[in-house]
Amino acid sequence: MTPSFRLPGRTRLICRTMKWLALAATGLIIIFYFTTDAVSAILDAVWAGLQPQVREDVAYSAGKKLLLQTLATISYFSLVLILLGAARVFSVFQTGKVFGPIAVRAVRFLGLMIFLFAAIQLVMPTLMVLGLTFDNGEDRRALTIAVNSMQVVLLLIGGVILIIGQILTQATDIALENEQFV
């Protein structure tokens, strides 16, 4: 591979450092999950958002508790998607290779992970409230739809990174084609 397709040593060092920071942050999120009661904190926040008359009819069955704990865990660990996507990009770029199929897949993976994170964060409050109140009486069910500007921005950023990944795919194909002519 020619030097014009490689990152400088300092940039590769930064990528190596950032990869380990992303993996360390992932480890901290996992440790924090098991050392604190993160699921209860998420469920308490959803509970606090319900109206008092809706809360009165909520009954916890074993199935409902499992559903809510699963949704809270998915919500909590969704940030890990971005961190793993970033770690993958940094891992590829620490080798110095900029234009190659592995680098392109890593960038597209990061875009997909950001998009998935934003989508999960967008639908999770609605699913949690529905999970809490689906077996309430007719007039005691709740439906919450909330759109946060940060989620919309992350959806857009994820989409842009996916498009950039597609552009890098074409750039990589052109670079490989040009290499064959030389």
**Residues 128-165: pLDDT tens digits?**
888 877 777 677 666 777 788 888 999 999 999 999 98
CB contact set of 119 (below 8 Å; sequence gap of 6+): 155
Instruction: Write out the two tokens for 158.
Output: 């994820």
> What are the DSSP E strand ranges found in the chain?
none
Q: What residues are paired with 6 via a beta bridge?
A: 97
**Residues 51-60: pLDDT tens digits?**
777 777 777 7
Instruction: Write out the two tokens for 54.
Output: 């809706």
Instruction: Return the number of other C-beta atoms located less than 10 Å from residue 64's C-beta.
Output: 16
- The ranges of the chain with pLDDT < 70 are 1-5, 137, 140-142, 182
This prediction has a pTM of 0.80
Instruction: Write out the two tokens for 179.
Output: 């290499």
